[in-house]
Structure 1
Amino acid sequence: MSANFSKRAVSGVRNLHPYQPGKPISELERELGLSHIVKLASNENPLGISARAKAAIEKALKEVTFYPDANGFYLKQALANLLHVAMEQITLGNGSNDVLDMLVRTFVEPGDQVVCAEHCFIAFPISAQAQGADITTVPAKDFGHDLPAMQAAVNEHTKLVYLVNPNNPTGTWLRERELKTFLQSLPSEVIVVYDEAYFEYACGTPEYPNAIKLLSEFPNLVVLRTFSKAYGLAALRLGFAVSNADIADLLNRVRQPFNCNSLALAAGVAVLEDKEYLDNAVEVNRAGLMQLADGLQKLGLSPIPSLGNFLCVDLQRPARPIYEALLKEGVIVRPIGNYGLPNHVRISVGLSEHNTRCLEALAKVLA
């Protein structure tokens, strides 16, 4: 007789639905036998790898038989110099999702409350549910965070509040004044997890905050960033948090040893020095957002304004059939019904020719 292992799992995991990533190109090739596929589903950098990062990886390959530096000294040093923080304030992760999970495991026990917004990045509630947290999801306002309502949801059991700026998958953003007002309204022991995965794309926008500059004023703030987006290292899984040193010390107690591999660490140091690459990525994204927004509006659609490297758009009908029809045209976008938006898709910015291909395919299937 076989055992019922589901009953042996912790309660938070039994009813958990796993994260659904964007469909890989190789999977669509296997399923439909297509080639020349355009993937605009996972908010990846379309430029390819930085030449400096590639050279650093090739050099690091010589030592791939050795374990990596468990403390990531040189990457922490480079980040500390760039961000004007102490190395002791930095926690490295296997992607920023890894650090997000560390925060939940470090501070949340079963029955503790966490607060997040409707339509927020789904990795946070997944980690919180697995830990047995009581998740309070505050309804969105104009597809973004309703900060007064989130503040009102905080109670004596609240451990973490999660903000995403710009928000994924909707692209909406918080202004510095409203962020500071929100932080000032919270009890000092409530930790605010502030996810800036798309910071490099957004940081030139008037009133958009640089939360790392707020750390000295708000020691309960933890800022997450990543190398997966503008820095073009998604496959290497490299992210980090900046916080006060006490929080970083606690996170590093639960951080898995060698969670960042040698190739990622070397590439991260190198790409931080490649300002030309970053500037080009930001400019390509700026032009691509305009191209996609203009093309979608010509199709009679109204995308949500975005500061990320993607647009979220209401197709005015169930999105899943449109998504599947686009797959047959060799175009991968992201349906986001699992975010409570069944009529919306999220379209990542690609190169100009990728964006054109997507718009043409969308016009075809909508017709």
Structure 2
Amino acid sequence: MSQEILNNVRKNLFEIKPYSPGKPISDVKREFGLTDVTKLASNENPLGPSKKAQAAILDAVANVNRYPDGGAVSLKEALSAKSGIPAGQILVGNGSDDLIKLTSETFLHPGDEIVVPSPSFSQYWFGAQLMDAKTVAVPLKSDFEYDLEAMLNAVTDKTKILYLCSPNNPTGTYIREADLQAFLDRVPSRVLVILDEAYNEYVTEGDYAQGIDFLKRGYNVLVMRTFSKMYALAGLRLGYMFGRPEVLDAINRTREPFNVNMLAQVGAVAALDDEEHVEASRTLNRAGYEQLQGGLGALGYETVPTQGNFLIFDTRQDDKELFDALLREGVITRSGTALGIPGYLRVSIGLQEENERFLTAFEKVVSTLAQKV
């Protein structure tokens, strides 16, 4: 009987491999018998959430017997005040993953195509596969910069969506304003360009392309951002999207009535009002990057310049073996093989002591593995 039911499942769903997140601290402790573990795997903000956000969340806990505001009115108003984008041009979701899924369900039909950079965020592929559409992956250049010309050449009559992640996950590289301007001027108007800016708040380069500037100029773009990174609310799952009203109206028709919970909404509003926390997080991140870059450089490794809260570097050996060895030392990173860049490790930038623990553990495991050769 169960096989007969399974025969009714859409065949394209069997091509989907469940998302593999960074290994949880609890799993590593249990698996290796450790009591102290440092997680530098999921690009989380090591400072934790704003005190203002924590207070707002605690105040709202007593009301969780009530449904959240399905329209997220207060949150949209706060985002509008912060960005200069009208509230009617904002859509919120249960993380960026939710928004990618909703957009895919809205615009993709079987046989359609999306164009994505590679390597980049795997959920773009998931959204396409869910709708039985094809993902056309365009490799980054050798220095991990975007090959925008190649992405333009990959657009066909079947292309419905094109994704650009800037700063890109997992490489940390970004798109410059002049380059994005030239690119958008050549993309067919029927193609929806989605600018994923999850790490936007960490950027320090002055020529970085801000997606909302292009939206304000009338370009047909969707700009995705999140509260999971800089605002340190990853556990509450909250992403948001800026776009043209008619585009968001279509996407909104696929949204569940209460897709963003109450605590996420009140925490996000308070977090937006805490600029000191943002500045402290940004300062910590740049100092941590310099610490990791310097430490790895002293060991003979060159990091790829990053505008995110993470970095990658070529280990020049089996990254999976290094990843496993680091786990045994109580340090969780991300294997490059799992991210589409074999031989590399991705390391989230942590607190000073967390970065130092990684550097010490990395030096140890590299030396140990070298002795086995």
SS at match of 1:145: coil
Q: Deviations over 1:335-363 (max 9, x none)?
A: 13133212111000000000000000000
CA 1:133–1:144: 2 relative to 1, 3 Å: farther
Kindly report structure 1 stretches of 4+ aligned residues shifted beyond 6 Å: none
Shift of the alpha carbon at 1:364?
0.1
- Do the aligned residues in 2 keep the contact of 1:80 with 1:86 (CA within 8 Å)? yes
| Deviation at residue 91 of structure 1 after TM alignment | 0.6
Q: Which residue of 2 aligns with 1:23?
A: 23
Q: Which residue of 2 aligns with 1:56?
A: 56
Query: What residue number does 2:181 align with?
Result: 180
Which residue pairs with 2:226 in the alignment?
A: 226
CA distance in 2, matches of 1:6, 1:279: 52
1:149 alignment counterpart: 150
What are the within-5 Å matches in structure 2 for residues 68-147 of structure 1?
Answer: 68-141=68-141, 142-147=143-148
Query: The residue matched to 2:342 in structure 1 has which SS?
Result: strand
Structure 2 length-normalised TM = 0.96
Instruction: Tell me which moved more, 214-223 or 44-53.
Output: 214-223
Contact 1:107–1:159 at 8 Å: present in 2 too?
yes
Moved more, 82-91 or 297-306: 297-306
State the SS of the aligned residue for 2:160: strand
Quickly say closer, same or farther: Cα 1:7–1:172, change in 2 above 3 A: farther
State the Cα distance separating 1:217 from its structure 2 match: 2.5
Contact 1:183 1:218 in 2 (8 A): no
Letter in 2 for 1:170: T
Partner SS state of residue 295, structure 1? helix
Work out whether residues 337 and 343 of structure 1, in 8 Å CA contact, stay in contact via their aligned partners in 2: yes
Check the 8 A contact 2:184/2:219 in 1, yes or no.
no
Q: Which amino acid aligns with 2:94?
A: N
Q: Which secondary structure state, in structure 1, belongs to the residue aligned with residue 3 of structure 2? A: coil
Cα distance in 1 for partners of 2:218, 2:365 equals 49
Cα distance, 1:6 vs. partner? 5.1
Contact 2:45 2:231 in 1 (8 A): yes
Contact 1:219 1:243 in 2 (8 A): no
What amino acid is aligned across from residue 164 of structure 2 in structure 1?
L
For 2:359 and 2:274, how far apart are their aligned partners in 1? 32
Q: Tell me: CA distance 1:190–1:2, structure 2 relative to 1, closer, same or farther (3 Å).
A: closer
Give 1:49 deviation, angstroms: 1.8
d(CA) in 1 for partners of 2:278 and 2:7?
A: 48
Q: Normalising by the residue count of structure 1, what TM-score does the alignment of the two structures yield?
A: 0.97
CA drift of 1:11 comes to 2.5
Return the alpha-carbon distance in structure 2 between the equivalents of residues 4 and 117 of structure 1: 39
Shift of 1:14: 0.8
Code of the aligned partner of 1:364: K
How far apart are residue 296 of structure 1 and its match? 1.0
Distance 1:160 1:144 in 2: 20
Deviation at 1:187, TM superposition (A): 1.0
**Count of aligned pairs between the two proteins:** 366
Preserved contact between residue 29 and residue 36 of structure 2 (Cα < 8 Å): no
Q: Kindly indicate whether the alpha-carbon contact (under 8 Å) linking 1:68 and 1:258 is maintained by their aligned counterparts in 2.
A: yes
Give the CA deviation at 1:13. 1.2
Residue 194 of structure 1 aligns with an amino acid whose one-letter code is L
CA distance in 1, matches of 2:56, 2:313: 38
Give, in whole Å, the separation in 2 of the partners of 1:196 and 1:344.
23
**Counterparts of 1:146 and 1:281, CA distance in 2:** 31
> What is the RMSD of the two structures over their aligned residues, measured on CA atoms?
1.2
Structure 2 unaligned residues grouped into runs of 5+? 368-373
Letter of the structure 2 residue corresponding to residue 356 of structure 1: E
> 1:218 offset after TM fit, Å?
3.8
Does the 8 A contact of 2:44 with 2:232 survive in 1? yes
The equivalent of 1:162 in structure 2 is: 163
Following TM superposition, by how much is the alpha carbon of 1:16 offset from its aligned partner in structure 2, in angstroms?
Answer: 1.4
Per-residue deviation at 1:4?
A: 6.1
Instruction: Supply the AA of the counterpart residue of 1:336.
Output: G
Mapped partners of 1:90, 1:213: distance in 2: 15
Q: How does 1:29-44 map to 2 (within 5 A)?
A: 29-44=29-44
- 1:243: how far off? 0.4
CA–CA distance in structure 1, aligned partners of residues 150 and 7 of structure 2? 36
Give deviations 1:301-322, integer Å, cap 9, x for gaps: 1111110000011110110111
Corresponding residue for 1:211? 211
Map 1:289-300; keep pairs closer than 5 Å.
289-300=289-300
More divergent stretch after superposition (218-227 vs 175-184):
218-227
Amino acid at match of 1:175: R
CA shift for structure 1 position 300: 1.1
1:198 corresponding residue in structure 2 = 199
Q: Which amino acid aligns with 1:88?
A: G
CA contact (8 A) 1:144 1:167 kept: no
- 1:242-261: CA deviations, max 9, x gaps? 00111111111111111100
Amino acid paired to 1:329? E
